[in-house]
Amino acid sequence: MGLIVLVAASATAFLYYGSRVLSQPRLQEEFVRYGMPDVRILVGVLEILGAIGVVVGLGIPQLGAAAAGGLTVLMLLGLAVRARLRDPLSQMLPAALLAVVNGVLFALFLTS
Protein backbone atom coordinates (compact mmCIF):
# COMPACT_ATOMS: atom_id res chain seq x y z
CA MET A 1 0.00 0.00 0.00
CA GLY A 2 2.79 2.46 0.90
CA LEU A 3 4.52 1.71 -2.41
CA ILE A 4 1.39 2.65 -4.35
CA VAL A 5 0.99 5.92 -2.44
CA LEU A 6 4.62 6.89 -3.06
CA VAL A 7 4.38 5.92 -6.74
CA ALA A 8 1.22 8.00 -7.10
CA ALA A 9 2.82 10.99 -5.38
CA SER A 10 5.98 10.79 -7.45
CA ALA A 11 4.24 10.20 -10.78
CA THR A 12 1.73 12.99 -10.20
CA ALA A 13 4.41 15.48 -9.17
CA PHE A 14 6.73 14.70 -12.06
CA LEU A 15 3.99 14.66 -14.69
CA TYR A 16 2.94 18.07 -13.40
CA TYR A 17 6.42 19.59 -13.09
CA GLY A 18 7.70 17.99 -16.30
CA SER A 19 4.81 19.34 -18.35
CA ARG A 20 5.28 22.79 -16.80
CA VAL A 21 9.02 22.77 -17.55
CA LEU A 22 8.18 22.06 -21.19
CA SER A 23 5.36 24.57 -21.57
CA GLN A 24 5.62 27.50 -19.13
CA PRO A 25 7.55 30.63 -20.17
CA ARG A 26 8.31 31.39 -16.51
CA LEU A 27 10.18 28.11 -16.21
CA GLN A 28 12.08 28.86 -19.41
CA GLU A 29 13.29 32.01 -17.62
CA GLU A 30 14.23 29.94 -14.55
CA PHE A 31 16.52 27.72 -16.61
CA VAL A 32 18.17 30.87 -17.97
CA ARG A 33 18.64 32.02 -14.36
CA TYR A 34 20.16 28.62 -13.54
CA GLY A 35 22.62 29.19 -16.38
CA MET A 36 21.34 26.08 -18.17
CA PRO A 37 18.75 27.05 -20.78
CA ASP A 38 19.87 24.24 -23.09
CA VAL A 39 18.89 21.45 -20.68
CA ARG A 40 15.31 22.59 -20.00
CA ILE A 41 13.68 20.30 -22.57
CA LEU A 42 15.83 17.35 -21.49
CA VAL A 43 14.84 17.89 -17.84
CA GLY A 44 11.13 18.10 -18.69
CA VAL A 45 11.26 14.95 -20.80
CA LEU A 46 13.24 13.07 -18.13
CA GLU A 47 10.71 14.07 -15.49
CA ILE A 48 7.80 12.80 -17.58
CA LEU A 49 9.60 9.58 -18.53
CA GLY A 50 10.56 9.07 -14.88
CA ALA A 51 6.93 9.47 -13.83
CA ILE A 52 5.89 6.85 -16.35
CA GLY A 53 8.78 4.61 -15.26
CA VAL A 54 7.81 4.59 -11.58
CA VAL A 55 4.24 3.62 -12.51
CA VAL A 56 5.45 0.84 -14.81
CA GLY A 57 7.71 -0.18 -11.93
CA LEU A 58 4.68 -1.54 -10.13
CA GLY A 59 4.78 -4.36 -12.67
CA ILE A 60 8.50 -4.31 -13.54
CA PRO A 61 10.38 -3.41 -10.34
CA GLN A 62 13.76 -3.12 -12.10
CA LEU A 63 12.38 -0.36 -14.34
CA GLY A 64 10.81 1.32 -11.33
CA ALA A 65 14.16 1.27 -9.52
CA ALA A 66 15.92 2.78 -12.53
CA ALA A 67 13.28 5.49 -12.89
CA ALA A 68 13.19 6.32 -9.17
CA GLY A 69 16.98 6.34 -9.01
CA GLY A 70 17.17 8.67 -12.01
CA LEU A 71 14.59 11.02 -10.53
CA THR A 72 16.48 11.05 -7.23
CA VAL A 73 19.69 12.05 -9.02
CA LEU A 74 17.82 14.68 -11.04
CA MET A 75 16.43 16.24 -7.86
CA LEU A 76 19.83 16.15 -6.13
CA LEU A 77 21.34 17.95 -9.11
CA GLY A 78 18.50 20.47 -8.96
CA LEU A 79 19.22 21.04 -5.28
CA ALA A 80 22.90 21.60 -6.08
CA VAL A 81 21.99 24.24 -8.67
CA ARG A 82 19.67 26.01 -6.25
CA ALA A 83 22.30 25.90 -3.50
CA ARG A 84 24.87 27.38 -5.89
CA LEU A 85 22.44 30.23 -6.60
CA ARG A 86 21.74 30.59 -2.86
CA ASP A 87 18.00 30.14 -3.35
CA PRO A 88 15.96 30.13 -0.14
CA LEU A 89 15.17 26.82 1.53
CA SER A 90 11.50 27.27 0.65
CA GLN A 91 12.41 26.99 -3.04
CA MET A 92 14.54 23.90 -2.35
CA LEU A 93 11.89 22.04 -0.38
CA PRO A 94 9.97 20.48 -3.32
CA ALA A 95 13.14 19.04 -4.87
CA ALA A 96 14.36 17.82 -1.49
CA LEU A 97 11.05 16.10 -0.74
CA LEU A 98 10.90 14.50 -4.18
CA ALA A 99 14.51 13.31 -3.80
CA VAL A 100 13.57 11.58 -0.54
CA VAL A 101 10.36 10.07 -1.94
CA ASN A 102 12.17 8.70 -4.97
CA GLY A 103 15.11 7.49 -2.89
CA VAL A 104 12.66 5.47 -0.81
CA LEU A 105 10.97 4.21 -3.98
CA PHE A 106 14.35 3.17 -5.35
CA ALA A 107 14.99 1.07 -2.24
CA LEU A 108 11.47 -0.39 -2.26
CA PHE A 109 11.69 -1.36 -5.93
CA LEU A 110 15.08 -3.00 -5.37
CA THR A 111 13.62 -5.19 -2.63
CA SER A 112 10.50 -6.13 -4.65
Instruction: Give the pTM.
Output: 0.94
Per-residue pLDDT tens listing for the chain (112 residues): 799 999 999 999 999 999 999 999 999 999 999 999 999 999 999 999 999 999 999 999 999 999 999 999 999 999 999 999 999 999 999 999 999 999 999 999 999 8
Give 98's Cβ-side CA count (13 Å radius).
Answer: 31
CB 102 within 8 A of CB 10: yes
CB 42 within 8 A of CB 17: no
Cα distance between residue 49 and residue 60, in whole Å = 15
